[in-house]
Structure formats: structure tokens, C-alpha cells
Amino acid sequence: MGNVLDGHHIGKGVVDGVEREHLAFRDADTDWQIWVEAGPKPIPRKYVITSKALAGAPQYTLRIKDWKT
């Protein structure tokens, strides 16, 4: 988190039909967003990573539906 230039709590968002906390962060080369399950088990459920260093700013999405810990 040392390279983070900016971070915000966007608010509530829906991932897979369930309300989640939506956070967004920026650094010089990358923007990323995360949706975290609220409640006693704050598990990340979705990440979106956008590369600002590559032409066309490709975006990658990861959805996590089942954690097996």
C-alpha cells in the first residue's frame, strides 16, 4: 500500500446478487477495485485491475465464488 496515491470507499455494490463493500485505489501505473463481503467474514469477492502503463488500459477481472480455507 506504500505506492497508493488515492483510495476511496465507493459504497455498497452488488456482486453475484449479494451486497458488498466497494473500495477503489490508484497508484501511478494501476487502478484497482475490490468488493468485500460485509459481516463477520470480510472475504474479497471481486477484483478489477486496470493497467494504465499498457496501451489501451487493459482490464482484468477476478470473481471469487468459493473460498476453501
pLDDT in tens, 49-58: 999 888 888 8
Number of domains observed in the structure of the chain: 1
pLDDT of residue 8: 92
| Residue 69 reports pLDDT greater than 70 | no
Q: What average pLDDT does the segment 13-37 reach? A: 91
Tell me if 17 is assigned to some domain.
yes
Tell me if 68 is assigned to some domain.
no
CA end-to-end distance (rounded Å), the chain: 25
Tell me if 69 is assigned to some domain.
no
Question: Residue 28's pLDDT band (boundaries 50, 70, 90)?
Answer: confident
User: In whole angstroms, what is the distance from residue 11 CA to residue 19 CA?
Assistant: 10
Tell me if 49 is assigned to some domain.
yes
pLDDT of residue 57: 83
